[in-house]
Amino acid sequence: MVTTDRVVIVGAGLGGLYAALALAPHPVLVISPETLGEGASSAWAQGGIAAAMAQGDTPQAHAQDTIVAGAGTVDAKIAELVTDAARSHILDLTAQGTPFDRDARGDYVLNHEAAHSTARVVRVKGDQAGRKIMETLIAVVRATPSVQVMERVVAQELVVTDGSVAGVTLARLDGDNVSKPVALHAPAVLLAGGGSGGLYALTTNPPRIRGQVMGLAARAGAKMADMEFVQFHPTAMDLGLDPAPLATEALRGAGARLINSEGEYFMASAHDLADLAPRDIVARAVFAQTQAGKRPSLDTRTAIGAAIHDRFPAVTEACRKAGLDPVAQPIPVAAAAHYHMGGVATDAQGRASLPGLWVCGEAASTGLHGANRLASNGVLEALVFARKAALDICDNLSSRDAPAAPVTLHFQSGGVPPQPDAVTALRHLMTDLVGVRRTGAGLQLALTRIKALEQANLGVPDFVNMCTTATLITAAALLRCESRGAHWRDDYPEPNPEKAQRSYLTFRDALHLRESVCTEAT
């Protein structure tokens, strides 16, 4: 057991780094499972940051679009709080050196994305926002004396004393191996470790992000919210890669259209907004084409043409690696797990239900996204609540600016890493039974299979945390007997007005439901 006066931040994506800077000069320890800058969902974000920056646009209009996209379960006060703060965060990142796209007059270039009523997405070189923002923050973090970064280390468990979070158990990664855990006691813990996309066989998320941070919080007793709402991006590039490269939504904002193998523009009959319909509708339409054997593709040839190379370099690079020319050929796409609206339930300051624990970014559920996240609100939410949480942590520290020695942990070999076959089995059952389209029978079957996988791997902390999050998603989906936003039930295809509210669940609740289902199955 080691004790530190540093605030421990689990996760080194945008939320974690932004919070570390907001906490300065208070000493911070940032835990990163990869080399800093690698493996974070933030760096993969092709969209940008939604903010009312244009003349005539307002935070209120942005909030209203967020509420509409969220299909009846958005917390309106949180939507107002976040959209009001959006402009200040754009200006802050600009001041720190983020090279947002600007026009000849110096105004921000604003892009139009699905379900926004106007162009309000600030970008960097078309599809480079996440990577460039991360590069900016990493440079500032490296130059900030109060921030210590510990790389190739993962959190496995929260240390809870008398009902409060008192630290975290950590393990070092060495290739495919993992060390034995070491407990680190700290004055506060902020979880900023990403979502759960990697729990699915087809995902746009970095490989290591498989719901572990949500799972360790839930196992410690934290209340969870909206776990059933997993957003599937409709245009992951179907090129046989894992994770699947993302064909950013801005391509459709620039006029690209979805077609199937028969050359039909199928979104025109699916929704009034056609290719710019909300993501859940587009994802189900793309999934339906895939299921029907009419391989869907994104056609950029007419609307964008050769300009795609300069405007969307990440997309063209992925196509090049797969031997595909988007100027001459449509890009094959599929619906892939992309963003989790659910997570650890937090208040307006980023506090979880457990004292001593704060959460920001995709691991949190603030109420902003509701049942279906509005495009480019994810990065914005991470920024807003990273700062909110950091300021609240400062207010709760007995000594704010006192120096602290660097943390030194001595890891010993002998930990147990997840077995690849078990992870693969979990990912496939989640895609098959808890994916774009769900049924009660399929969800019950998923719970029994998750339990069996977990029981066979009880001594593997990372995998147990994955199974915890998978159980929570599945249980929440089974309890929501309706279709709303990203959650679709074939056996309950209509929304129920009485269920137009957020859902809350503890792991104990989910386990009770799982046991009931498993008992009935036997």
Q: Which residues pair with 159 in a beta bridge?
A: 167
| Domain final position from 336, 358, 377 | 336
CATH number of the domain that 502 lies in?
Answer: 1.20.58.100
Q: Which long-range contacts (CB under 8 A, 24 or more apart) does 284-288 make?
A: 284/335, 284/436, 284/437, 284/488, 285/234, 285/258, 286/234, 286/235, 286/258, 286/333, 286/334, 286/335, 287/232, 287/334, 287/335, 287/436, 287/437
279 carries an active-site annotation: yes
Range of the domain at 513: 420-521
AA letter at 465? N
For residue 149, being part of any structural domain is answered with no
Run of H or E including 425: helix 420-433
CA pair distance 382, 360, nearest whole angstrom: 6
- Does 118 fall in a domain? no
The DSSP output letter for 258 is E
pLDDT of residue 329: 96
Residue 441 lies in a domain: yes
Within a domain: 511: yes
Domain membership of residue 60 (yes or no) is no
Question: Is residue 378 one of the residues assigned to a domain?
Answer: no
DSSP state of 482: S
Whole-number Å distance between alpha carbons of 47 and 124: 9
CATH assignment of the domain containing 281: 3.90.700.10
Mean pLDDT per 10-residue segment, the chain (522 residues):
95 96 96 85 79 96 96 97 97 94 94 89 83 91 96 97 97 94 97 96 90 98 98 92 88 95 95 88 92 95 96 92 95 95 98 98 97 93 98 87 89 96 97 95 98 97 98 98 96 97 98 96 84
Task: Single out the catalytic residue among 120, 210, 257, 279.
Answer: 279
Q: What is the pLDDT of residue 400?
A: 61
Q: Which residue type sits at 102?
A: R
Among the candidates 306, 336, 366, a domain finishes at: 336
Measured between alpha carbons, how far is 208 from 199 in angstroms, rounded to an integer? Answer: 10
Which of 288, 315, 336 represents a domain boundary (last residue)? 336
Position 290 in a domain: yes
Total count of domains within the chain? 2
Q: For residue 429, tell me if it sits in a domain.
A: yes
User: Which amino acid, residue 286?
Assistant: V
- The confidence score (pLDDT) of residue 375 equals 86
Picking from 71, 112, 99, 101, the residue whose alpha carbon sits closest to that of residue 249 is 112
